[in-house]
Structure 1
């Protein structure tokens, strides 16, 4: 009831203000400013109401609502007023008989929390799972029961506009050229898809999706940026959480975090442990074709695997408030994971005169260690918003994989072969950046900064044969040492302001790239240098308080990384090989976005039409490499062509799409989020390659037009007994490509949660992939091959989790300023 009373009061206030202002246009008004904050933490209160009631004529009412900084700016007629400041779950504050006859700053008005009112509020004062903003979408992980006990990869798969395929590859609006940041910095992981599966979902605070970033951000990522923000202690005193998870298939997890904050410093830390098994399977049916199109042979592949991970991670750090304007933050994190991935493959071979089953068993073990140290200085000047930040991070990652591969024909004696593959990788990444923000006038803001990103990756890849005595003979076709060095120096500047209902933000970013690609074993050394400018422009028109229009432009770059470049990177199959392309070049994208956002009483709608034009776009293709695997089965010589998957540069890609995001709360106990994305891509380009052994040159045309769409719906309902029920559903529609198509896939997740122990703890049960249908399904049609494949990275997962909070209520409002998403400036 208290909540309804507040809402009705605000509505009556707005109606009265509008009515009075219409009936009294002739009187000259004065401006009254100030701010409303919490009394204890001094935290600004956004959306607090300020009311001015004329003591001589109570019908004369003025008022307003505070902004994100807790500030208000209200025009009133000269007179004597009773001033009232209010916010939900806080005790109102009144200032009586205040004489206001000239422009006045009331200073800071303090509000106390009302414990009684807090207990009466039925709907918790919490952010929605998905917050729609004009320039980005913010997904609040802590509000999503679906991902409890899951991984960061599960979190991203629930984020609007984002999809994660069976291999863990992340796409934004159907485009894989997306840059993933963690706490505003590039991940120090060598393989980001694998790294996302090792980060607990419970360690994430929120995910920010920026489809068209400004010049402040890295130009990397043709589709945009996804920033994963990890949890950090926020509240005064000692507080923390402990989350325990039990799942089937095996998923044991324990994550704890603790925070101690005083006026002079803030200590924070967390520790996580996980032991899990993720069964998966693959089905591939392939018809090898003769030149006339008839079937030469058929191989049906059935693969089962069980990816196991056991490891822990921890981080600790301290914010030191040197004075009221200077903060120094230091943090250290470490992650260690040991894993296994036994992959058992049965190859059903149907030759014209011979039928047999080949068993290929890949027993793979992984070991990952990475450590990172970060430091930050933030200096705030006297003027609000005027600040200087300096950041640095230094990380090292070691990722070692080793496999023993056994291959034999079932039912045939003395035909087994053994191979060994090792992939030892070491990466060092150092980052230094500084950002300066200067407010100019009432609405203007100038920004400038520098960022240096220095990355070195050394990969030692070995493949060889093992004889019955265990002696090793290297296979030189798949053995090499790959040394990748990347130095990127960037400078940017931008200026934004607001003129009446128009806002603009204009910027320019310059990046100097110096990249060494060295194949040490073959003595093949390549250096690539290029200088690039990346302009950006953002224009917004505020139609009214509820609606706005925007048009944005930015230029982006997608640099090929380790997996795309390294020609020796995967040998799990000797007939279907993945290989990088050291000759691949970066692609450049011009991105335009038209946006419209509006808010009604219970609905927030954000829609956009976007157009991306990319030059030198890279795309994965599948082709024969000219090699033949020969074996003798039942006295007959069997030849199997080797198929190669590799990335190439094509000419151009034009991508056009529409996107709609809706937040709708039809009742106080029901909240809905919906996301729909439709896009069309048109790719042009030819590619020539030379077959091994025969040196035959093959020319292929990859012109292709494709339509695609996907939709996500999330529903959260509060059932009787205060049980929360959440359902997420996703559908990825079929999509054509130059060599076939991907088929449509529907999947759904389900979760229930209940607060216990006087709201200090929460029990949650979730089912990930209820129908066991989340797969990647592809059809490939080549002149020499037709194939159909289904790949399921992880089968249905059921998790039960228990969360306990000490000295930290679930209904607590965040008592911290919003951390910048990357470079230190506030979003304009």
Structure 2
């Protein structure tokens, strides 16, 4: 049992004992802090912490003391002017959860935690069994309310307009989807899910924000964790986190290297239609992907404690990746009677390389008054992506073989400066304001050579610049059981889209206000309700604005729209949480209205490839989109050794808009994009603590069917499984997990475009994955190992979700 003291010479020694428990459940609170402050001698301070049974034993000099008993997220208990002239037992002290704080409520569980704040939820996911040996994408797909589809696209409550941050900053990666697949899951400490962000956060992201917090050691002395992983298909990797902390410095580093193979497959069976929707012919397509990559992810940094109240943090992050992908496409053609005609084989052999280096710095000044804080942040990064592909196209009905060589080189610089100031000026009240400047420049050099001849139609250099300056302020207070947080954010955007090949320059300038409001009312000790509002923006990005063609397919051509404007979303969220001894119910009803929503319209170009019409797709500000839905999370603990978590989301989406254009024959064509759809998904997770320190975790997910303007996606069921066992006196852990146990995680699509095509498709980005990992911890304090054990166990007694 740890104790600390400032000696008071000449005084008799006394022993102070007692027991600390949680008020509601009467469970003992381990690592609660007991502090004795001598009222006549401020330098005389004694204290200690409770053991695993909640007991404490503190030795102090006789005298008069203020005694403070504290535990994170609980209301402290203070015994004033206690005269201690002899050894004393203070008896049982019950601490009550602090569910009335203005800015946050930390919901404690025996095995894992979720922090429920006024405008976000924080899931501690670092030790989730399901993601051992996986990536950030795997982590996000195990978070309630979050979904990651088979192509790696992230959505929050069914909305894919999500802003993803890493350590509170936009990712410096050019392709965020690929970046999430490269960062190892073992580097993550927690994920903040912000469904309706306040004015403090970027206005970008109509569907909300996800903030991924990376690990950084905090223990005194030198300590660390090493993890080795192997898997099938090939998934070999090693990673480690080492930390060295003194009174003046905290040095930390995380290093990881992996080699992965991600085989995938797809098929599309298409029936092409005449103008009267009768059958013209058929084309059946199968696709096999052989993906492999090698990646390194590392950082090094330090905290310099300049004084008790001032800390300077510096970090350098470096990521490197090289990969290749052989995309083998076989197309078989049939006539109107489904008689075989010929086949075509299209092979895309692609090599890619990427490098990213980022330097971040932070000053944090904590003033004497609790909560009074000033922070200054800077982030400066460079990223390069190089992609070279050789596309061979051969058919049995012609001796001609086409060879396309495409090169796409991207360079991106992203610089960010931010400062935030929080001032609590009265009990339960505070004001906050700050500035953020984000400056982005991306140059994309794309070229195509066909059979040795440059193809100017697909060769171009696009320069994209985005400068966003923002100011915000917010005010919050608490009046008895009622809390509110009001905010206003102003963002000035200056965006340049410069097509250097044609000297086509476009400049978009606009500034907007983004209000937010959050209201919370405590209906009881274990019950609260809230309502919130915010206004959001979705800015078009480089590829969406690039007016040049992109040779991603020989019959489906993407062309950007330089006149694309941002879309704006008004979001309302109503929340409710109720906690019982073994059950927690957390639900929300939400509604979004988006004006100027992006829609990808398809039209015939008038050109044909082997008799197949070439279709051009472009984004436009076409529609107004309405989205309403509700979700709930249930956490049930029928026994101490068995914990259940379920998450359900249901939403209705309606799109209104018409697109009118003149086709290549001079005819006016009207496309009606009015559409409404109902969709839902659900996830169930079971965690069981078996004997001999073995943990067993299973989760099952079902994504319900969903309609869109030109077809529908079908329902898909998938399941994951994981086991772990602690060894070597809890210094080591063996883990086995199976991702997509039934090998059923696919995108199933039905598409119907009148007068064009009727098709069915399947796409599986990654086949079933089996991983085995070993974790070893050295000099990690007992309470830190216990935190990991808690996270793996997954017990949830009174509030919130556990990972998975």
What TM-score do you get using the length of structure 1 for normalisation?
A: 0.83
Q: Distance in 2 between matches of 1:499 and 1:222?
A: 31
Q: Distance in 1 between matches of 2:699 and 2:25?
A: 34
- SS of structure 1 residue aligned to 2:318: strand
Is the 2:238–2:258 contact (alpha carbons within 8 Å) kept by the matching residues of 1?
Answer: yes
Residue matched to 1:26? none
Over residues 480-528 of structure 1, what are the superposed CA-to-partner deviations in whole Å (9 max), with x where a residue is unaligned?
1111100000000001000011001001000000000111112211111
> 1:655-804 alignment to 2 at 5 Å?
655-691=627-663, 694=665, 696-783=667-754, 784-804=756-776
Residue matched to 1:377? 363
Is the 1:717–1:724 contact (alpha carbons within 8 Å) kept by the matching residues of 2?
Answer: yes
Over residues 247-290 of structure 1, what are the superposed CA-to-partner deviations in whole Å (9 max), with x where a residue is unaligned?
10011111111000111110000111011110001111111110
Q: Distance in 2 between matches of 1:381 and 1:674?
A: 42
Residue matched to 2:382? 396
Structure 2: state its 5+ residue gaps.
1-18, 29-38, 40-44, 57-66, 96-107, 788-804
The alpha-carbon deviation at position 430 of structure 1 amounts to 0.2
Residue matched to 1:542? 522
- SS of structure 2 residue aligned to 1:193: helix
Select the residue among 622, 625, 633 that pairs with 2:605.
Answer: 625
Is the 2:26–2:94 contact (alpha carbons within 8 Å) kept by the matching residues of 1?
Answer: no
Residue matched to 1:580? 560
- SS of structure 1 residue aligned to 2:267: strand
Over residues 764-807 of structure 1, what are the superposed CA-to-partner deviations in whole Å (9 max), with x where a residue is unaligned?
00000001111111111112111111111100000001111111
The alpha-carbon deviation at position 126 of structure 1 amounts to 4.2
Q: Distance in 2 between matches of 1:252 and 1:13?
A: 42
Structure 1: state its 5+ residue gaps.
15-32, 34-38, 51-62, 89-122, 467-471, 631-638, 816-828
Count of residues paired in the alignment: 728
- SS of structure 1 residue aligned to 2:158: coil
Is the 2:599–2:621 contact (alpha carbons within 8 Å) kept by the matching residues of 1?
Answer: yes
Q: Distance in 2 between matches of 1:775 and 1:270?
A: 33
Residue matched to 2:457? 477
> 1:41-190 alignment to 2 at 5 Å?
66=70, 68=72, 72=76, 83=90, 126-128=111-113, 135-190=119-174
The alpha-carbon deviation at position 84 of structure 1 amounts to 5.4
CA RMSD for the aligned pairs? 3.1
Is the 1:661–1:676 contact (alpha carbons within 8 Å) kept by the matching residues of 2?
Answer: yes
- Inter-CA distance 500–10: structure 2 relative to 1 (3 Å threshold): closer
Q: Distance in 2 between matches of 1:769 and 1:40?
A: 54
Larger RCO, structure (CA 8 Å, separation 6 or more): 2
Q: Distance in 1 between matches of 2:499 and 2:603?
A: 23
Is the 1:281–1:303 contact (alpha carbons within 8 Å) kept by the matching residues of 2?
Answer: yes
The alpha-carbon deviation at position 662 of structure 1 amounts to 1.8
Select the residue among 297, 308, 324 that pairs with 2:308.
Answer: 324
Select the residue among 397, 410, 416 that pairs with 1:431.
Answer: 416
Select the residue among 292, 296, 317 that pairs with 1:308.
Answer: 292
1:414 maps to 2:418? no
> 1:244-323 alignment to 2 at 5 Å?
244-323=228-307
Over residues 541-581 of structure 1, what are the superposed CA-to-partner deviations in whole Å (9 max), with x where a residue is unaligned?
01111110101011111111234323457424211234433
Is the 1:125–1:811 contact (alpha carbons within 8 Å) kept by the matching residues of 2?
Answer: no
Residue matched to 1:53? none
- Inter-CA distance 622–174: structure 2 relative to 1 (3 Å threshold): farther
Is the 2:22–2:94 contact (alpha carbons within 8 Å) kept by the matching residues of 1?
Answer: no
What TM-score do you get using the length of structure 2 for normalisation?
A: 0.85
- Inter-CA distance 208–44: structure 2 relative to 1 (3 Å threshold): farther
The alpha-carbon deviation at position 135 of structure 1 amounts to 3.5
The alpha-carbon deviation at position 241 of structure 1 amounts to 0.8
- Inter-CA distance 238–479: structure 2 relative to 1 (3 Å threshold): same
Is the 1:48–1:70 contact (alpha carbons within 8 Å) kept by the matching residues of 2?
Answer: no
Over residues 35-59 of structure 1, what are the superposed CA-to-partner deviations in whole Å (9 max), with x where a residue is unaligned?
xxxx9999999x9999xxxxxxxxx
Is the 2:20–2:55 contact (alpha carbons within 8 Å) kept by the matching residues of 1?
Answer: no
The alpha-carbon deviation at position 689 of structure 1 amounts to 3.8
Residue matched to 2:484? 504
- SS of structure 2 residue aligned to 1:180: strand
Residue matched to 2:432? 447
> 1:546-561 alignment to 2 at 5 Å?
546-561=526-541
Q: Distance in 2 between matches of 1:747 and 1:690?
A: 44
Select the residue among 544, 565, 571 that pairs with 2:545.
Answer: 565
Is the 1:44–1:70 contact (alpha carbons within 8 Å) kept by the matching residues of 2?
Answer: no
Q: Distance in 1 between matches of 2:777 and 2:688?
A: 23
Residue matched to 2:503? 523
Q: Distance in 1 between matches of 2:552 and 2:109?
A: 51
Residue matched to 1:28? none
Q: Distance in 2 between matches of 1:553 and 1:75?
A: 42
- Inter-CA distance 420–378: structure 2 relative to 1 (3 Å threshold): same
- Inter-CA distance 413–589: structure 2 relative to 1 (3 Å threshold): closer
The alpha-carbon deviation at position 647 of structure 1 amounts to 2.8
Is the 2:355–2:384 contact (alpha carbons within 8 Å) kept by the matching residues of 1?
Answer: yes
Over residues 741-764 of structure 1, what are the superposed CA-to-partner deviations in whole Å (9 max), with x where a residue is unaligned?
111111110000001111101110
Q: Distance in 2 between matches of 1:481 and 1:540?
A: 51
Q: Distance in 2 between matches of 1:149 and 1:87?
A: 41
- SS of structure 1 residue aligned to 2:126: helix
Residue matched to 1:212? 196
Is the 1:510–1:532 contact (alpha carbons within 8 Å) kept by the matching residues of 2?
Answer: yes
Q: Distance in 1 between matches of 2:650 and 2:251?
A: 45
Is the 1:267–1:318 contact (alpha carbons within 8 Å) kept by the matching residues of 2?
Answer: yes
Q: Distance in 2 between matches of 1:526 and 1:49?
A: 69
Q: Distance in 2 between matches of 1:694 and 1:359?
A: 32
> 1:810-821 alignment to 2 at 5 Å?
811-812=783-784
More deviation in 211-220 or 802-811?
A: 802-811
Residue matched to 1:21? none
Q: Distance in 2 between matches of 1:538 and 1:524?
A: 44
Q: Distance in 2 between matches of 1:41 and 1:796?
A: 53
More deviation in 5-14 or 654-663?
A: 5-14
Q: Distance in 2 between matches of 1:568 and 1:174?
A: 31
Over residues 279-335 of structure 1, what are the superposed CA-to-partner deviations in whole Å (9 max), with x where a residue is unaligned?
001111111110111111111110001111112121000000000010000000111
- SS of structure 1 residue aligned to 2:409: strand
The alpha-carbon deviation at position 205 of structure 1 amounts to 1.0
Q: Distance in 2 between matches of 1:595 and 1:304?
A: 45
Residue matched to 1:104? none
Q: Distance in 2 between matches of 1:178 and 1:192?
A: 11
Q: Distance in 2 between matches of 1:183 and 1:761?
A: 28
The alpha-carbon deviation at position 627 of structure 1 amounts to 2.3
Q: Distance in 2 between matches of 1:578 and 1:263?
A: 57
Residue matched to 1:113? none
> 1:633-644 alignment to 2 at 5 Å?
639-644=611-616
Q: Distance in 1 between matches of 2:580 and 2:195?
A: 24
Is the 1:604–1:663 contact (alpha carbons within 8 Å) kept by the matching residues of 2?
Answer: yes
Is the 1:311–1:338 contact (alpha carbons within 8 Å) kept by the matching residues of 2?
Answer: yes
Over residues 197-219 of structure 1, what are the superposed CA-to-partner deviations in whole Å (9 max), with x where a residue is unaligned?
11111111111111011100001
Is the 2:751–2:760 contact (alpha carbons within 8 Å) kept by the matching residues of 1?
Answer: yes
Over residues 584-611 of structure 1, what are the superposed CA-to-partner deviations in whole Å (9 max), with x where a residue is unaligned?
2111111011110111112222101001
The alpha-carbon deviation at position 479 of structure 1 amounts to 1.8
Q: Distance in 1 between matches of 2:689 and 2:265?
A: 36
